[in-house]
Amino acid sequence: MNDSRSRLLFVLHDELMSGATIALLRLVEPLRERGWQPVFWVPRPGPAADWLGSRGYRVGGRWRPIASSLVALHQPPGLARRTAGTPPYLSAFRRFVRECSPALVHANSLYSFAEGIVARCMGVPTILHLHDMVPASWKAEPVRQMTRHLFHGCVAVSEACALSYATGGWKPDVVLGAAPIPVKPVATRRKPSPFVVGTVGVISKRKGSDLFVAAAEALARSDIEFRMIGSPSEPLDEGWAKDVLGRASAAGVTHLQQADVAREMETWDAVALPSRRDPFPLVMLEAMAAGLPVIGARVDGIPEQIGTDGGILIDAGDASALAGAIAQVSELSQSARAAMGVAARARAIANFTIERQATEMDHVYKRVVP
């Protein structure tokens, strides 16, 4: 590809290093190897823009006033400033698109829909990358119609995610999420005392953080240590998250807002993810790739990850079932836990590599770019 046909503009909606952002950034180098030249539009200031800038990428962006709901619009700095800031923000984005003259715009997540529509109206081929289930509200059908008709292509991270947007015989393409595969799996400890189970994710209702804490409360007298990584950064769950973290502290759960997840997993014996909604969580793939026994909720894309032999599935929202599954894994022999980890890692290697994901995304791009 020559430069004029290979420039790829990634649009991020979040200034933080969220799961959707991390998933995309892991694709950048493999896509460069396939001839694409990435540039970025990112809310600034923030960690994502800093990370990209420190690695020499061209990065545009400014404070993003756009929000996805009326409640979110009233979050600081408030409705008036957000409303007033939206036209200048979109004008700045239009200028950046004209300056970059990309062959393709990749709007990363449903929440980047506004920038994606602007690029589409400018005549730039645009795809929407769906890392989110369709909203569970009256907005569901309007969103389905928008994703179907307003973009040149839509890509979902799981079959469950794609099906939630399906309408009138149409559904988005599916390019399954992926995670790095460590050279060596985590060593299975012979007789862990305590047995360590961890979870990773923003402290929120959708991630089931309260269910993990409830399992810790139920197993308080056992030789099991609970560890939780994630920040209470979901604005609409702020008060709820504070209560959950208070319960976690009382139950002896170790909580870190940020951590090197791969390094932390080296000291864990299992990973549990009791999400209420989750299109295709990265942490589940990372745990499987590391060869850890995994426990996940039977919801959205998690069953696609675990399959029939990659771990244990429990009903979503069932804290008792979660506690029972954690206790069950903790009581297994070393060989049985090792076998669970081997099966999980084999499934990750067979289905969820970044190389496979980059190849499939490259095919989507080449279908869209004229």
CATH of the domain at 170: 3.40.50.2000
Kindly report the length of the chain: 370
Q: What number of other Cβ atoms are within 10 A of residue 213's Cβ?
A: 27
Amino acid sitting at position 357: Q
**Per-residue exposure over 10-37, b if at least 16 CB sit within 10 Å of its own CB, e if not:** bbbbbbbbbbbbbbbbbbbebbeebebb
Task: Give domain status of residue 188, yes or no.
Answer: no
Q: Tell me whether residue 185 is in a domain.
A: no
- Per DSSP, helices labelled H in 101-219 are 113-121, 140-149, 159-165, 209-218
Amino acid of residue 276: R
Same domain, 78 and 127: yes
- Does 324 share its domain with 290? yes
Element holding 256 (H helix, E strand): strand 254-256
Split at pLDDT 50, 70, 90, the class of 38 is very high
> Tell me, what's the pLDDT at 2?
46
- Would the pLDDT of 127 be above 50? yes
Q: What is the pTM of this model?
A: 0.93
Q: Are residues 163 and 56 part of one domain?
A: yes
Whether the pLDDT of residue 72 is over 90: the answer is no
187 falls within a domain: no
For residue 43, pLDDT beyond 70: yes
48 and 77 within one domain: yes
Q: Is the residue at 183 inside a domain?
A: no
CB 261 within 8 A of CB 283: yes
| Per-residue pLDDT, 253 | 97
Q: Give yes or no: residues 87 and 104 share one domain.
A: yes
> Based on the structure, what is the number of domains in the chain?
2
Hey, which residues does 188 pair with through a beta bridge? none
In a domain, residue 186? The reply is no
Statement: residue 297 has pLDDT above 90: yes
Read off the pLDDT of residues 249-265 as tens digits, 9 standing for 90 and up. Answer: 999 999 999 999 999 99
Are both 217 and 343 inside the same structural domain? Answer: yes
CA–CA gap between residue 295 and residue 212 (Å, rounded)? 11
**189 part of a folded domain:** no
End-to-end CA distance of the chain: 13
Residue 184 forms part of a structural domain: no
The reply to whether 318 falls in a domain is yes
Residue 149 shares a structural domain with residue 211: no
Which of 234 and 144 is assigned the larger pLDDT? 144
Q: How confident is the model at residue 243 (pLDDT cuts 50, 70, 90)?
A: very high
Average of pLDDT values for 121-127?
A: 96
Rounded CA-CA distance 363/174 in Å is: 12
Please name the residues in contact with 319: beta carbons below 8 A apart, sequence gap of 6 or more.
210, 211, 214, 215, 218, 274
pLDDT tens by residue, 319-347: 999 999 999 999 999 999 999 999 999 99
d(CA 104, CA 308): 38
Per-residue pLDDT tens for 190-223?
Answer: 999 999 999 999 999 999 999 999 999 999 989 9
* Residue 54 main-chain phi, psi, to 5 deg: -65, -15
Same domain, 206 and 255: yes
Q: Could you say which DSSP state residue 5 is in?
A: G
The average pLDDT across 47-66 equals 95
- What is the reported pLDDT for 4? 56
Domain limits for position 228: 195-351
Cα angle: 156, vertex 158, 159; to 5 degrees = 100
Are residue 155 and residue 282 in the same domain, yes or no? no
Instruction: Provide the pLDDT for residue 1.
Output: 43
Do 220 and 170 sit in the same domain of this protein? no
One domain for residues 156 and 287: no
Pair (210, 77) in one structural domain = no
Kindly report the average pLDDT of the chain as a whole number.
95
